[in-house]
Amino acid sequence: MTQEKSIQNIPTLVAIIMDGNGRWAKMRGKARPEGHIAGVESVRKVIKAAVAEGIKFLTLYTFSTENWGRPQEEVDAIMELFCRSVIAETPELKKEGVRIRIMGDRIAFSKKVNAYIDRIESDTAEGEALTVVLAMNYSSRYELTATTKDIARMVADGTIKVEEITSEFISQHLYSKDYPDPDLIIRSGGEYRLSNFLMWQAAYSELYFTPTLWPDFDKESLREALEAYAGRQRRFGLVK
């Protein structure tokens, strides 16, 4: 096997909007949940590839707060797929040194889904190679609304003064507080938007869009995105 050349300037946190499962299924005359089943295969491949590339954090937009409005069978299929994946994937994730964390409001999940979340978070807690953050029942506006309420309460009960609210303070109270901001955000499926994903955290992220539908996204697709990122010049609002 030929040794692949390593890429310079690997991003610390890559976030992915995994879009295109439904269209992938439709093109094959299959029901939408079949697209999500194929999408899990891509998740598996991309996690493995992310470990190999030396990425430290991978945040995956798995289920948005808006996704509850999809047909009930599709919502149920995604939840079931999550639970099944927890059982099927945990041994390999542990072997690869992958830690799984869930980011989002867990209140809306069933007892069963919450139990699987607890299970995968505790079973993989020791993983040090890569942290995979599954954004579930997550959206930026929901997160920012929840954080605003938390901070307002702190001001109201005298825990903090208004002057203490800085941009860093807000970042430290978001659902994403334990992770760095994304260096690179990838969206598969050919659309050019953020769809309520990490809008605060994306302030200086590099964006990469590909027409590849998520079930067709693989390690080569990740490599192409990383190569594009390596060629970008990040200035963070400054001059070079």
Q: Which residues are catalytic?
A: 19, 67
**DSSP structural state of residue 206:** E
Q: Which of 11, 16, 20, 99 binds ligand FPP (CB under 6 A)?
A: 20
Please say which residue, 37 or 184, places its beta carbon nearer to ligand FPP.
37
Figure out which of the listed residues 11, 14, 36, 209 binds ligand FPP, where binding follows CB under 6 A.
36
| Contact map string, positions 128 to 157, toward ligand FPP, x by CB under 6 A | ------x-----------------------
Judged by phi (left if over 0) then psi (alpha if -120 to 50, else beta), residue 8 lies in: beta
Answer yes or no whether residue 34 interacts with ligand FPP by CB under 6 A.
Answer: no
Site for ligand FPP in 166-225 (CB under 6 A): 189
- For residues 81 and 36, is the Cβ–Cβ distance under 8 A? yes
The helix/strand/coil state of 95 is helix
Bridge partners, residue 209, by sequence: 187
124: contact with ligand FPP by CB under 6 A: no
Stretch that binds ligand FPP, among 38-46, 169-177, 197-205, 228-236 (CB under 6 A): 38-46
> How many Å apart are CA 161 and CA 153, to the nearest integer?
11
* Residues recorded for the chain: 240
Q: Tokens 């999408």 belong to which residue?
A: 39
Site string for ligand FPP, 55-94 (x = CB under 6 A): -------x----x----------x--xx--x---------
With contacts defined by CB under 6 A, how many residues of the chain interact with ligand FPP?
A: 18
201 to 171, 204, 228: CA distances (angstroms): 8, 8, 20
- Residue carrying structure tokens 């069933």: 110
Q: How many CB atoms lie within 10 A of CB 231?
A: 9
For residue 5, the one-letter residue type is: K
Nearer to ligand FPP, 63 or 229 (CB): 63
CB of 237 vs ligand FPP, minimal distance in Å:
32
* Contacting residues toward ligand FPP, per CB under 6 A: 18-23, 36, 39-40, 43, 62, 67, 78, 81-82, 85, 134, 189
